[in-house]
Amino acid sequence: MLVGGGKKKQTRETKNKYTRKKFLNFLIPVFDLCEALWYYVIIIYIVHNPSHNVTLHARQPSGKELKDSMNTELLSISELAKFSRVSRTALIHYDKVGLVKPIARGGNNYRHYSDEHIALVNLIRTLQHLGMSLKEITLVAQRRTPKSILKLFREQIDNIDRDIVSLTKARRLMETMIGVIDDVIDIDESRIYLERQPEERIFLGPYNDYSNGRTLNAALLDFYNWCKVYDSDMNLNYSAWGTFSADRLKRSDWMWPDRFYFNNPDGQDVKPEGLYATGYARGNYGDTDDLYRRLMAFIKERKLKLIGPSFETYPLNEISIMDPTNYLIRVSILVEAG
């Protein structure tokens, strides 16, 4: 009977151990799917249990903790690394700096941890994601109260919101650049196209002032200053292009543009939908005279009505081309069938 009972107890313990391991393995994909919620639960748990025996500062476990640990199946450092998704090296470093101490050490000096350390390590990861150093995390943890944690997280949410706005602007800029380059990557530069183009959001500046000997660069600087006044948070990393009115095109006056604009998807104006005569050429900024003459000849030959304005862009410029004499110039002129 004693032997049989011992076998049943051993079988039950083995089964419980297997069930527990299986459950911990199950937690890994749950962490991946619900990480944000999991972090929140971790934080609330630790904030409201500041006296819990899992600490964020260096101390030796008490005799009672060591005794209790003998009645609990402990996690090896490799298991804790797996379940909390950090490296063994990180856990060793956490121990050395007094941030996460093992609950016990075996005879071979191997570190052993309790289940609660999973929540602790994930709290540390959360705070690191917020940009905090391990030193800062230790200070916060040692003095944590519900009010201090609320203050900290509200400040971090404000920082995150600012980062989201900044990154969203950067993404939209990248998307615009990708669209501009991808649109011409395999274009036949020798052709003039008669094509219907969709409406496109742009940020269109005021008419340029070239009076009293003012230069193109002065007008461009005016445009950038005007943009900052119009919207102090505007992303000025978009390339500035130019437009020419129909009257100036008819006079063959396409040296300096009437107005500058950005291909900004958040712009306050639009490039109108319509039929455009579009041509391409290679050269530096301003090397457009021959291209405009070709386009005007095409419009006349096809008996098209020039509506204007023209939209002059450099889809392949210093961003993607090293030789400034080999930029790709694109000019689109709004027309109507005659």
Q: In the structure, what pLDDT confidence band is assigned to residue 19 with cuts at 50, 70 and 90?
A: low
Do residues 243 and 261 make contact, with C-beta atoms less than 8 angstroms apart? yes
Predicted confidence (pLDDT) per residue in 274-319, tens digit: 999 999 999 999 999 999 999 999 999 999 999 999 999 999 999 9
Task: Find the mean pLDDT for residues 254-258.
Answer: 95
- Which residue in this structure is represented by tokens 């749950």? 30
Measured distance CA(80)–CA(57) in Å, rounded: 18
DSSP state of 61: P
* Separation CA 255–CA 216 (nearest Å): 10
Matching residue, tokens 């959360």: 126
pLDDT digits (tens, 9 = 90+) for 97-117: 888 888 888 777 888 888 888
Decide if 102 contacts 74 (C-beta within 8 A).
Answer: no
Comparison of pLDDT for 233 and 16, the residue scoring more: 233
H or E element that contains 314: strand 305-316
Cα–Cα distance, 57 to 142 (Å, whole number): 7
pLDDT at 118: 87
pLDDT digits (tens, 9 = 90+) for 163-200: 999 999 999 999 999 999 999 999 999 999 999 999 99
pTM of the model: 0.65
Q: What is the reported pLDDT for 311?
A: 98
Digit-coded pLDDT (tens) for 103-157: 888 777 888 888 888 888 888 888 888 788 888 888 877 777 888 888 888 988 8
- Count Cα atoms within 13 angstroms, Cβ side, for 75: 22
The rounded distance, in Å, linking the Cα atoms of 114 and 151 is 30
Per domain, the residue ranges of the chain are 34-152, 176-336
What pLDDT does 72 receive?
A: 56
The whole-number pLDDT of residue 310 equals: 98
Strands of 111-113's sheet in order across: 75-76, 111-113, 104-105
Categorize the per-residue pLDDT at 65 as very low, low, confident or very high, splitting at 50, 70 and 90.
low
Q: How far apart are CA 262 and CA 98, in angstroms?
A: 53
**pLDDT more than 90, % of the chain:** 49
| Domain over 34-152 is classified CATH 1.10.1660.10 | yes
CA 202 to CA 312: how far, in whole Å?
13
- CATH for 176-336, among 3.30.70.380, 3.50.50.60, 3.20.80.10, 3.20.20.70? 3.20.80.10
Average pLDDT, the chain: 82
Taking residues 202-218, report their average pLDDT.
Answer: 96
